[in-house]
Chains A and B, each alone.
Chain A
Amino acid sequence: MSEPNLTATAALIALDAAEAPRTLPNFSLNRAPFEIRALKSGFLTALTWIAALLASVPLFSVIYMLVIEGGSRLDWEALTALPPSAFEQGGGFGNAIVGTLVMVGLATVISVPIGIFAAIYLAILDPDSRLAHSVRFLSKALTGFPSILAGVFVYAVLVVIMKTYSALAGGVALAVLMLPTVVLAAEQAMMMVPKKMKDAAFGMGCTRAQVIWKVVLPTGAPGILTGVMLAIAGAAGNSAPLLFTALFSGYYLTSLTEPTASLAILIFNFSGMPYDNQIELAWAASLVLVLVVLVFNILARIIGRQKH
């Protein structure tokens, strides 16, 4: 609203006030920056700015440490060599990179098809059935599920029966954690597909499977992929369930049914050791791990943005 307009309104109100028998409180439309209310508001605004800046300090501190401590040690040897033993110098975490990639890949292969099909059921086939409601609720509950319990579960189901820690068990544990993220993101993406498009396809005589396969999935693909990328990023950084499903190994992976190294467990093991060499490697491994997680996060953002 422009200023003359404001004064006009004020004048009208003043005219009204003059005519009315009782007088309105004497107010003006000028700003009163030193009134208590305004000062209070300004003070809280300043506090908010300080809080917001404080909250970003940890992120920058973590990134700074990763680049300085991890970057100084990150070389070809670190990326390819095997982990050093206690007093050994040098070494690296090549087997842990391979182990992480294999287990996250395994988890993706298991969780993505199941997650997307379940989301198809939830979003399109029968959104209001009792099964859909309970699966939706359980998926949301599973996102808050402590990751270590996925490890306990897979230990009880797979490790005890196979009698060995394995990459397979680690992959399954990560899949349990990825599943709810994939389901909820894919459901959301498919619900966003305009009803018009589905109706048009049905109108042409498509079966439900054809509508989903040829219209809903391609249209919802960016959203679904964003969810998958975020789930992968989460799984790559997650270590608690690997503690007693994949355990750790000092060697490169040769089969899926043997204990397997992962970056997260390597960081966990090395961080508590009293040797500088191991601690430096833990920082370098952290840098690699954060980069892997960031790549998937950024991919998710790029794919997600194309939607608009």
Chain B
Amino acid sequence: MASHHFDNVDRSGSVSGPPSAGDYAFDRGFRGIAWLSAAFILALVVYIVIEIGGKALPAFSEYGLGFLTSTTWNVQTGQFGILPEIWGTLYSSLLALILGGVFGVVIAIFLTQDFLHGHLAAIFRAIIELLAAIPSVVYGLWGLYVLIPLLRPVANWLHEHLGGVPLFGTSLGGPGLGPAALVLAIMILPTVASISVDALHQVPYKVKEAAYGMGTTRWEAILKVMLPTAGSGILAALVLGFGRALGETMALAMLIGNSNQISLSLFSPANTLAALLASSFPEAGPVEVRALMYAALVLLAITLIVNAIGLAVMKFATRKFEAER
């Protein structure tokens, strides 16, 4: 019956009428393109992993796992090892995480726990977001010509007076791990802060009211109620910030000194996987490119694992509050 009614509809007017055959074709095509685009992203990621993995395979079969534990990088003799880079990547990121993480969480608290009036908080939030907008190379330039000259006297004083402590075991000549980690901390601070802000916003308002109602001071409420409740979200912020630090390239390539050594000292030059790729890749011959592809695969594996952990923690944190509501 229904189709009979539609048959009588005048299709010459464009105002009303059921979808024409053309409309259906458009619909099908449109949905097809949308599906293709989504599938494209899936395929792209798979392709990236396969491509980098495939290009790394020759080097993997040649150097094996010894590549990860050897410390020489010599193009002439064909000896390649990335232990110093793995060490430098993890060490610099960890230092950045400690510093950027503490500041990031404190700033998230500052922004969410009524320290500022709404208007001022928005301005301050914009300042922190602008920190994230400044390109990595500009931080590198700033680090080279502002931060390092500023740090050098401090670093050398520390080395002279506290040289026995491994952290201050060398003097700061120019680029080094300390300035690199400091710039890295500035760069991950906005990431940590913004994800922590979201985590703190997710805590139901009544939880905070209940704490204040019990007569807590502001900081008792923050430390004993807000932070534990938002804990998993803040953990996710820290893990994702760490992931960002691991892959950061340009500022590090400019500031870390690209030196193949393992040292605990904050002031000695070092290297990271990403910086190694940035500084060696453009001029590498075919043999070195294969080794660099292996290094890229290691970096990919480390960052994928760290990011997957971060996203899993974040999902857990969000689900916890959804269940409570």
On A, residues with C-beta under 8 Å from B are 37-38, 40-41, 44-45, 47-49, 51-52, 54-56, 58-59, 61-62, 65-66, 69, 113-118, 120-122, 125-126, 131-132, 134-135, 137-142, 144-153, 155-157, 176, 179-180, 183, 205-210, 212-213, 233, 236-240, 243-244, 247, 264, 267-268, 271-272, 279, 282-283, 286, 289-290, 293-294, 297, 301
Task: Among B35, B126, B140, B303, point to the contact of A268 (Cβ < 8 A).
Answer: B140
Contacts of A142 in B (CB 8 A): 45
Selected from B26, B34, B137, the residue in CB contact (under 8 A) with A286 is B137
B19 & A207 in contact (Cβ 8 Å cutoff): yes
- C-alpha gap A262/B24 in the complex (Å): 46
Do the beta carbons of B55 and A156 come within 8 Å of each other? yes
B30 adjacent to A286 (CB under 8 Å): no
Interface flags, B295-319, vs A, CB<8A=1, else 0: 0100110011011101100000000
A268 touches B250 (CB 8 A): yes
Q: Are B220 and A264 in contact (CB under 8 A)?
A: no
B217, A238: Cβ atoms closer than 8 Å? no
Does B135 sit within 8 A of A, measured CB to CB?
yes
Residues in chain B near residue A156, CB distance under 8 A: 51-52, 55, 293
Chain A hits for B225, CB < 8 A: none
- For the complex with contacts A56-B131, A233-B133, A289-B135, 5 further pairs of A-B residues with Cβ separation under 8 Å are A49-B110, A52-B107, A176-B44, A268-B137, A289-B138
- Residues of B contacting A139 with CB < 8 Å? 41
Known: A153-B48, A207-B26, A271-B254. A144 touches B310 (CB 8 A): yes
- Nearest chain-B residue to A38 (Cβ)? B217
Q: Is there an interface contact between A237 and B220, defined as CB atoms closer than 8 Å?
A: no
Q: Cβ of B141: which chain A residues have Cβ within 8 Å of it? A: 267, 271, 282-283, 286
Is B324 part of the contact surface with A, judged by Cβ < 8 Å?
no
Residue B136 interfacial (CB < 8 Å): yes
| Contacts known (A51-B107, A118-B40, A121-B34); A144 close to B247, Cβ less than 8 A | yes
Instruction: Say yes or no: is B186 at the interface (Cβ < 8 Å to chain A).
Output: yes
**Which residues in B have their C-beta under 8 angstroms from that of A134?**
42
**Cβ-defined contact, A144 with B189, below 8 A:** no
Residue of A with least CB distance to B105: A51
B27 A237 Cβ-Cβ under 8 A: no
Whether B38 lies near A118 (C-beta < 8 A) is: yes
Q: Can you list 7 A-B pairs with a CB-CB distance of less than 8 A?
A: A55-B189, A58-B131, A59-B127, A156-B51, A240-B278, A264-B250, A286-B137
Q: Is the CB of B134 within 8 A of A237?
A: yes
Tell me whether A239 and B136 are in contact (CB under 8 A): yes
Contact B296 A149 (CB under 8 A): yes
Q: A207-B23, A208-B31, A209-B30 are contacts. A148–B277 as well, Cβ < 8 Å?
A: yes
Q: In the complex, A272 Cα to B134 Cα: how many Å?
A: 19
Q: Which of A120, A176, A210, A294 contacts B23 (CB 8 A)?
A: A210
Residues of B within 8 A of A209 (CB): 23, 26-27, 29-31
**Contact of A237 with B38 at beta-carbon distance under 8 Å, contacts A61-B146, A144-B310, A148-B274 already known:** no
B133 touching A293, Cβ below 8 Å: yes
Indicate if the CB atoms of B281 and A243 lie closer than 8 Å: yes
Of residues 229 through 263 on chain B, the ones whose CB sits less than 8 Å from some CB of chain A are: 240, 243-244, 246-250, 253-254
Chain B positions within 8 Å of A147 at CB level = 247, 249
CB distance from B246 to the nearest CB of A (A): 7
Closest residue on chain B to residue A241 by CB atoms: B249
| Interface assignment of B73: CB less than 8 Å from any CB of chain A | no
- Whether A243 pairs with B278 at a CB distance below 8 angstroms is yes
The 8 closest A-B pairs by CB, nearest first: A146-B247, A237-B135, A117-B37, A209-B30, A207-B27, A41-B217, A240-B249, A209-B27
